[in-house]
Amino acid sequence: MIKENLNGFQGNAEAALRETERRFRAIFDRTVQFMGLLNFDGTVLELNLMAQRLLQQSIGELVYHPLWMAEVWRGTPQQSKLQQAIALAAQGELIHYEAEIEIAGRETIILELSLQPVKDESDRIVSIVVQGHDITNRKQVEVELRQAREILQQNNQALEMMVEERTAALMEANWQLQAEIREREEIEAQLRHSEQRYRTLVQNFPNGAVCLFDADLRFSVADGLELPPFACKRWEGKTIYELFSAELCSSLEAHLQAALQGQNSICEVPLAEQFYWLYTLPVRDRQGQVIAGMLMTQNMTSRRQMEDKLKQSLKEKEVLLKEIHHRVKNNLQVISSLLKLQSGYIKDENTIALFKDSYNRVRSMALIHEKLYRSQDLGRIDVPDYIHTLTGNLIKSYVMLANTIQLELNIEKVLLDVDTAIPCGLMINELVSNCLKYAFPKGDSGKIQVDFGSVDEQYFQLSVRDNGIGLPKDFDFETADSLGLQLVVNLTEQLEGTLQIDCESGTCITIRFPSRLKL
């Protein structure tokens, strides 16, 4: 009977204990505070759900591990701070301090932690209770209150300064107002004087008128001669849309708006068989701001008629000059034809060669006038086109060599005036002819290269080279008895140039002369 009573009592006690533990667990896990139970060495025995959520780890990951080894504190200053706090609590001290936790996806939160040692009946510390609650909002409020107090203090100081500055500013403004009144009176006097000078200028503006207009394209001041359709006396107070046709307004509007935007503009307007020159410009104040626009108009009919006459006269002179080039070309071609015809009656080879040289020289000069006659520019020669034609004609004139000699041209795209082009053409004619006659005896095959271009933007350089037998090493242009070579020397001096000879691997003759003759 006693045993049964004991068993019943024990069962009731265990049930009561389980119910108490369930209630404790419910309270422990559902509290909004950070709560935990640590061994005296700091290892985790229990952590409630809030503590696990803030530490971002489950109890299974932290149990029997030091609390300071939680991921949120590992490697941070908070780790050593918590470790020191636990060590002091294990010695019996009640510890309170603030700890920071980095929450993923949120800002750092601040916990107010307390560590309280738990003792047994023998007064020995067996565990440590850890409690904490989130004081982040409170800290933020404290910071905001502190900032508000600082701002309020600064505002009070600023207000005192503003009162002092405002008082001084009012006194300064009073003085400036008096000064501005005096200045305005002076400006008005100057404006009256300026307007008088402006009226004098406008009324004496030669064959034209001057007007001022505002942002609405309305004329405020207009004066000058009465130039139909620009009768300026009736312009004042009216916009361009009230004065002119829609066609004229569309032409004027862009130019007047450009002046209001700070730009100068100029145009020519044909009306009623007359031509008018219009010039618009901005009118600025002392600060440089555009306050209005100015329109000046002048009858340019007589000037336009004079320009047309000059253009007609120039056109007639161009036609005349073309005719002169055409006739000079024809006369030179007649001379070259006579030389060629006469050479047909000569049996002596040396004499035939002399006639042939003269024929080629005349043709090189005739080619200049032919190119000028066919060109739009009557004063300049297109060098690449001229040299291609000239050297092509020379190759064709030596029929026996036409298929064995390779001609290479490297000519820069430049224009030369006639006085420079003719000497250059004659020198190319002589040098290429010499290559064809003497560089490849017995009909040997070979290559002739002609280069022409600018050097350092100060000189032109002409180079004629071949890979033939070359000249003797002691050869001297100055003492050579060849008429063609003497002609090359004289033409080089005429162009104020220099002449060089290179006899390595054939013959290369380079002539350099100033490019000041380039147009």
Query: What CATH number did the domain enclosing 468 receive?
Result: 3.30.565.10
**Would you say residue 484 has pLDDT above 80?**
no
d(CA 253, CA 248): 9
Domain harbouring 270, CATH code: 3.30.450.20
In this structure, are 406 and 503 located in the same domain? yes
Task: Enter the tokens of residue 217.
Answer: 């394209």
Phi, psi of 188 (to 5 degrees): -60, -40
In this structure, are 263 and 343 located in the same domain? no
Q: What is the pLDDT of residues 126-180, one digit of tens each?
A: 889 998 888 888 888 888 888 888 888 888 887 878 888 888 888 888 888 888 8
Which of these three, 134, 156, 174, is where a domain ends? 134
Which of these three, 109, 134, 159, is where a domain ends? 134
In this structure, are 312 and 324 located in the same domain? yes
Classify residue 438 by its DSSP letter. I
Answer yes or no: is 103 within a domain: yes
Instruction: Quote the pLDDT of residue 227.
Output: 53
Q: Which amino acid makes up residue 120? A: D
In this structure, are 514 and 401 located in the same domain? yes
This prediction's pTM: 0.42
**Would you say residue 302 has pLDDT above 50?**
yes
Answer yes or no: is 349 within a domain: yes
**Total length of the chain:** 519
Q: What is the pLDDT of residues 343-362, one digit of tens each?
A: 676 777 777 666 666 766 66
d(CA 167, CA 175): 13
Q: What is the pLDDT of residues 365-403, one digit of tens each?
A: 666 656 655 555 556 778 888 788 878 877 777 656 557
d(CA 45, CA 37): 5
Range of the domain at 365: 301-378
Which of these three, 251, 276, 299, is where a domain ends? 299
How distant, in Å, are the alpha carbons of 98, 174, 229, 240, 294 from that of 217?
A: 74, 38, 18, 6, 10
End-to-end CA distance of the chain: 140
In this structure, are 478 and 401 located in the same domain? yes
Answer yes or no: is 139 within a domain: no
In this structure, are 361 and 401 located in the same domain? no
d(CA 323, CA 328): 9
Answer yes or no: is 5 within a domain: no
**Would you say residue 510 has pLDDT above 70?**
yes
Instruction: Quote the pLDDT of residue 61.
Output: 87
In this structure, are 126 and 222 located in the same domain? no
d(CA 188, CA 193): 9
* Inter-residue contact 464 to 437 (CB < 8 Å): no
Instruction: Quote the pLDDT of residue 366.
Output: 66
In this structure, are 335 and 421 located in the same domain? no
Percent of the chain with pLDDT over 70: 72
**Nearest to 462, CA basis, from 500, 493, 436:** 500
Answer yes or no: is 167 within a domain: no
Q: What is the pLDDT of residues 236-253, one digit of tens each?
A: 778 888 877 788 888 788
Instruction: Quote the pLDDT of residue 518.
Output: 43
d(CA 99, CA 211): 80
In total, how many domains does the chain have? 4
Instruction: Quote the pLDDT of residue 450.
Output: 92
In this structure, are 438 and 461 located in the same domain? yes
In this structure, are 513 and 397 located in the same domain? yes
Calculate ∠ Cα 434-439-443, nearest 5°.
110
Answer yes or no: is 212 within a domain: yes
Percent of the chain with pLDDT over 90: 3
| 501 Cβ neighbours under 8 A, 6+ residues apart | 471, 475, 477, 507, 508, 509
> Hey, what long-range contacts does 55-60 have (CB within 8 A, 24 or more apart)?
55/101, 56/103, 56/104
Q: What is the mean pLDDT of residues 199-204?
A: 61
Positive or negative torsion for Cα 256, 257, 262, 268: negative
* Inter-residue contact 267 to 256 (CB < 8 Å): no
Where is mean pLDDT largest: 20-29, 345-354, 422-431?
A: 422-431
Answer yes or no: is 7 within a domain: no
Reported as a pLDDT band with limits 50, 70 and 90, residue 78 is confident
Calculate ∠ Cα 110-115-118, nearest 5°.
160
**Would you say residue 189 has pLDDT above 90?**
no
In this structure, are 405 and 371 located in the same domain? no
In this structure, are 312 and 413 located in the same domain? no
Supply the mean pLDDT for the chain.
77
Answer yes or no: is 247 within a domain: yes
Q: What is the mean pLDDT of residues 26-48?
A: 82
